[in-house]
Amino acid sequence: MAPAHRSRRRPCSATATTTRRPIRPDMVPPVRITGPAQSPVSLDQIKKHARAVDFSDDDEHMEALVNAAVAYCDGYAGILGRCLVEQVWRQDHEMWKASLSLPFPDVSAAMVKYFGADGAEQTLDAGLYEIVNAERGSKIVFKDAFSRPSLDSDRELPVSVTFTAGYGAPESVPWSLRVAIMQLATHWYEQRGITGDAETLPFAFNALIAPYRRVAP
């Protein structure tokens, strides 16, 4: 896989809503190949945050709530529009372009494959492209030596990019995001069984995630 080149990223502005919108409506949805090996928030951390360290009866339930809170924020369906703990995705494309867009920032490695005119899958030489990271996502940028090989005309999406995205290990995820996940999971834990018009998000959740959110509300 090719190494990444990072550009300067500026924080997004805060927002008071968590309505989800597509990251890139011009791209087909990516496919997650390998999920994170660990959660950004451990059981011990969420128990301390929820002041539930003196008993273990709810451990399984609390882990499930953390997983749900992570899913609410992480990956293609998450409101952040980015990956937290390192994970592997595949983005398919219809044709060669000057650059191939990827749905997430913080891409650390990528491999480009394609189905040639003979129908055989080929791996593109990593020396023919580089990864460019920006605040609104990443892209594969081809070098001048790239000659655009002929593609299989019977395939709708003959070009694919398999890439690694995320901050890295759980401890590399910014503390603001880990605190937001713990706040959300604890809020759900404390509000279980309550029905009606209870507020859906805990106080300060939006403020904590705003600098890292790259999906427009």
User: Is pLDDT above 70 for 183?
Assistant: yes
Q: Average the pLDDT over 98-111 and give the result.
A: 96
Instruction: Give CA–CA dist 4/94, Å, rounded.
Output: 23
Placement of tokens 């011009």 in the chain: 26
User: Is pLDDT above 70 for 15?
Assistant: no
DSSP letters along 2-17, please? EEEEE---PPPPP-S-
Instruction: Give CA–CA dist 179/46, Å, rounded.
Output: 9
pLDDT of residue 215: 66
User: Is pLDDT above 90 for 120?
Assistant: yes
pLDDT of residue 198: 52
Instruction: Give CA–CA dist 144/25, Å, rounded.
Output: 28
pLDDT of residue 8: 40
